[in-house]
Amino acid sequence: SNVRVRFAPSPTGCLHLGGLRTAFFNYLFAKKMKGKFILRIEDTDQKRIKPGSVENLNEMLKWTGLIPDESPSKGGSYGPYVQSERLRIYKEKIEDLLKSNAAYRCFCSETRLNIMKKDALQRNESRGYDNKCRHLKESEIQTLLNEGIPYTIRFKIPEEPVSHNDIIFGTHTHSVSENEGDFVILKSDGFPTYHFACVVDDHLMYVSHVLRGTEWLISTPKHIMLYNAFGWTPPKYAHLPLLTNSDRTKLSKRQEAIGIDYFKNKGYFPETLLNFLAIAGGGFGKQEGCIAYDLETLCSKFNLDQVNKNSCIVDFRKLDLLNNNYITRKLSNDEGFVELVRDFRRILKTKFGQRYEEERNKLTDSYLKKVLLCYKDRMTTLLEMTEKDMEYLWISPKYENVMQLLSNLRIPDSVIRSLKDVQYQLSLISSSDYNEEKLSSKLKEISSELKIKYSILMRTIRVVTTGQKDGPGVSEVLTMLGKEGCLEKLSAFIKEIELRESKIFLE
């Protein structure tokens, strides 16, 4: 296929939801049309560049599986793929426009331009530059050049309105000359502006379709003018609707909760995030529930002509549902379960480090499955299963912390010493009877036999088995740990007490 599309972000921060949606739709269109997906870095605005942006971009594209066919790291036949490495190309094309009289040098100072902006604001006018330098004579230009006066290059805007047929928004007509003055295409620092560089790059990289956010729809006539000035054929344009908050305000890059690394760090799966964007923007036909499809299926379903025109409200509750359903479906089949356990073990190792390694042999796959199945309807992400009140499921509490907590709660020594009897009584219950109902009844019976107030005994068992004074009911805790895990935690605590008491006695 001759279809070639590009994702061309500026390295001004981390990849966010709007940027990922643009990359995602470009990727899907390219793959469906058996074309090429290009990554290009547009870094011509050097003042706004933030260190680490490109690294974050590459990491997030890899995480979501949107791997470019051509990019700065992979290379390709039409590089370089970083605009700051293409300055020579831009200068050659600038010379072409100067020679054809489609552009000119502008020597206006920043002071004059700022005064013009203030005057325009006071008169409530949108028009910017007054095209003064368009009318300079050759002799005047030469004099200014000889004096070393800094200059920019401006494009001469034709008077005629420009129309184009957008794949999503249909026919769009705009008269640039009626609304603004000649615009800058090369800055005084030698770097091109976005409008100029993207046109040159798209042409030289044989980009056939430009899919980008609807905020660029108003700029498209400028780009078509530049194509016409060069005598080039413009690509086809498709402007994607805005992603908005529930109150219809635009999603902002400054919102922490729209950065892609935020979702990754919170434990969302890349598949669910991509499906979330698919649901929000249209283009995939009728959606059947909150099912997360793989990339191949999404490619087959994608239809650019069906993308919504209206702004798309981002409802994060749907993302939670998608992620929960994704986990549930993985748990329902052997292959999915193996993948889920692998991911979860990685989370446990990252969260608990050496403490996880010490417990690893006890955390069998069957145990992990039991716990995850039990909580599947109550969790949104796997990461939630490692929060404070769930830590007891994966690691043993530290003895010192347990003793400090028992002391803070003023648990009598006699109750602590009774844990040996509690352990023995719990060991008499068969593994099949280790459920909340049977355990709840047995714990009340033990409390009565030992003549210990039920609430105090429950608090003691919870602290020893979980390292926390609050949390799930004790019968739920013991059920989740299972007979072996429950007795092991009680035994380890009892042995530690006896060991320390024997050392004191020997001393």
Catalytic residues: 253
CA–centroid distance for 141 within its chain: 50
Contact present, 190 and 87 (Cβ < 8 Å): yes
User: What Å distances lie between residue 278 and 261, 305, 453, 492, CA to CA?
Assistant: 19, 14, 56, 50
For the chain, give me the number of helices (H) and strands (E)? 21, 11
Cβ neighbours of residue 441 closer than 8 Å, sequence gap 6 or more: none
Q: Residue written as tokens 């798309």?
A: 312
Cβ neighbours of residue 82 closer than 8 Å, sequence gap 6 or more: 40, 41, 43, 72
> Cis ω on the peptide bond leading into residue 221 (within 30° of 0)?
no
The one-letter amino acid at 211:
L
Q: Which two tokens stand for residue 499?
A: 């060991």
Q: How many whole angstroms separate alpha carbon 97 and alpha carbon 331?
A: 62
Cβ neighbours of residue 221 closer than 8 Å, sequence gap 6 or more: 161, 162, 164, 174, 176
Angle, nearest 10°, between helix axes 454-466 and 474-506?
A: 80
User: What Å distances lie between residue 392 and 5, 63, 405, 467, CA to CA?
Assistant: 50, 30, 15, 7
Q: Which two tokens stand for residue 331?
A: 């748990």
Tell whether the torsion through CA atoms of 204, 207, 210 and 212 is positive or negative: negative
Q: How many whole angstroms separate alpha carbon 478 and alpha carbon 462?
A: 9
Question: Residues 473, 415, 455, CA angle at the centre, nearest 5°?
Answer: 35
Q: Residue written as tokens 């921060």?
A: 13
Nearest C-alpha neighbor of 479 from the set 371, 391, 386, 398: 371
